[in-house]
Amino acid sequence: MSAEQVAIAEFTLTKAFSHFSQIKPNVQNFTETVNQCNVPWNICYVKMAGQFAVYVHCVKTRGDEDWSIKTRCRISMTSIHGKSSFKQCDATFTNESDCPGQGLYDFVSMDEIRHNLLISDEVILEARVEILEMTGIDMPPLLKHFDDDEAKEMSDVTLLVEDRRFYVSKFTLANQSTYFKTLFFGGFKESKESEITLKDMDSDAFQVYLEVLHMEPSLSDSCVVDALELSQMYDSKNVTRVCEDYLINKSKLSTKTKLQLGCLFDLKELKRSCLESLKTLADVRACMDCGGVENGVKDPEMQSSLTNIFQDIEKKIIAMYHAQFFPRF
What is residue 324's predicted lDDT score, i.e. its pLDDT? 72
CB within 8 Å of 192: residues ≥ 6 apart: none
Say if residue 167 is in the same domain as residue 206: yes
pLDDT grade, residue 1 (50/70/90)?
A: very low
pLDDT grade, residue 55 (50/70/90)?
A: very high
Cα-based torsion angle of the residue sequence 147, 150, 154, 156 in order, rounded to the nearest 10 degrees: 30
Cα-based torsion angle of the residue sequence 144, 147, 151, 157 in order, rounded to the nearest 10 degrees: 120
Is residue 187 in some structural domain?
Answer: yes
Mean pLDDT, the chain, as a whole number? Answer: 91
Say if residue 45 is in the same domain as residue 72: yes
Is residue 1 in some structural domain?
Answer: no
Is residue 125 in some structural domain?
Answer: yes
Say if residue 182 is in the same domain as residue 129: no
Say if residue 204 is in the same domain as residue 278: no
Say if residue 259 is in the same domain as residue 243: no
Listed in sequence order, the DSSP H helices in 177-299 are 178-185, 203-213, 224-233, 237-249, 255-265, 268-276, 281-285
What CATH number corresponds to the domain at position 213?
Answer: 3.30.710.10
Lowest mean pLDDT among 68-77, 262-271, 288-297: 288-297
Say if residue 239 is in the same domain as residue 297: no
- Dist CA 268 CA 282 (whole Å): 23
Is residue 329 in some structural domain?
Answer: no
Give me the domain span that covers residue 285: 252-322
Domain boundary among 94, 110, 135: 135
Domain boundary among 113, 135, 157: 135
What is residue 180's predicted lDDT score, i.e. its pLDDT? 96
State how many domains the chain has: 3
What is residue 4's predicted lDDT score, i.e. its pLDDT? 64
CB within 8 Å of 49: residues ≥ 6 apart: 25, 110
Work out whether the CA dihedral 77, 108, 42, 19 comes out positive or negative. negative
Smallest Cα–Cα separation from 143: which of 208, 78, 95? Answer: 208
Is residue 103 in some structural domain?
Answer: yes
Provide the angle, in degrees to the nearest 10, between the axes of the packed helices 268-276 and 237-249: 10
Is residue 327 in some structural domain?
Answer: no
Provide the angle, in degrees to the nearest 10, between the axes of the packed helices 268-276 and 300-325: 10
Furthest-apart CA pair in the chain: how many Å? 85
Say if residue 34 is in the same domain as residue 131: yes
Domain boundary among 135, 160, 187: 135
Say if residue 73 is in the same domain as residue 116: yes
pLDDT grade, residue 32 (50/70/90)?
A: very high
Q: For 157-203, what is each residue's pLDDT tens digit? A: 999 999 999 999 999 999 999 999 999 998 888 788 999 999 999 99
Listed in sequence order, the DSSP H helices in the chain are 110-112, 149-154, 170-176, 178-185, 203-213, 224-233, 237-249, 255-265, 268-276, 281-285, 300-325
Say if residue 103 is in the same domain as residue 157: no
What CATH number corresponds to the domain at position 93?
Answer: 2.60.210.10
Say if residue 100 is in the same domain as residue 128: yes
Single pTM value for the model? 0.85
Say if residue 102 is in the same domain as residue 128: yes
Is residue 142 in some structural domain?
Answer: no
Instruction: Indicate if the pLDDT at residue 257 is higher than 60.
Output: yes
Average pLDDT of 76-104? 91
CB 202 within 8 A of CB 233: no
Say if residue 22 is in the same domain as residue 120: yes
